Amino acid sequence: MMENRIHNTELFYPELSYSIIGAAMDVHNKLRPGWDEWDYHRAMIDALQKRGHLVLSHDRKNLKHRAVAVDRLELDLLVDDLVILELKHIKSNFHPEHYTQIITYLKRWEKKLGILINFGLEQLRYQRVPFTSTQGAIACTGHWNELQSEYSKLLASAMDAILCEHGLGYGIDLYKKLLWVELMHKGVEAAKPSLSPRLDGLCLGERTV
């Protein structure tokens, strides 16, 4: 079954993908679930290197906008400078944020293929995640029309600048950070709203929303 999935000629890097999944199966069969994620990380490095692959571990890159470092990203593994691996040890299927995470890495590292791998279940789970960079367009919804014209134009201009520079592919939290930097660049004083939940007079802490 795996061979049919991986050897599809329309997929990115079918032979490399097949070798990576084979290495992951070897690691899963030998270690089984229950260890720390870092144990599977080290085991995957060894298994991939034994198969002749070049493996880069915990590579880091800054995401910048207007010369400001917006965030620092760190992937798990990069194989043969082509495929990004994100390793998990969870007792469930992959969550939406896992896809957002690996797509963010694919976009920042300018790669076409990522593979999510989960060692936390009795049967190895993996999912190929292809990525092609796209630009998209700004669409305004909600209470947009209630804003004063000058503010709506300013926000639209800021978001358009971000889209032109970075395109689509990052998660919402990164786009919030990018928008914050762009607004500062335009001289806009913006404040991050916060909430302080209370229970019988006890403040449970302040958090931004």
Residue 204 falls inside a structural domain: no
Count of structural domains within the chain: 2
Q: What is the pTM of this model?
A: 0.83
Most confident of 146-150, 183-187, 195-199: 183-187
Per-residue confidence (pLDDT) for residue 1, from 0 to 100: 36
Q: What is the mean pLDDT of residues 11-20?
A: 95
Shared-domain flag, residues 57 and 109: yes
Beta bridge partners of 156: none
Q: pLDDT of 182-191, one tens digit each?
A: 999 988 877 7
- Beta strand pairing status for 77-79 and 68-74? unpaired
145 pLDDT above the threshold of 80:
no
The CATH number of the domain where 107 resides is what? 3.40.1350
Shared-domain flag, residues 14 and 114: yes
Shared-domain flag, residues 148 and 126: no
Shared-domain flag, residues 148 and 111: no
Element (H, E) at 183: helix 172-185
Nearest-angstrom CA–CA distance, 154 and 128: 39
Boundaries of domain holding 79: 2-130
Shared-domain flag, residues 49 and 148: no
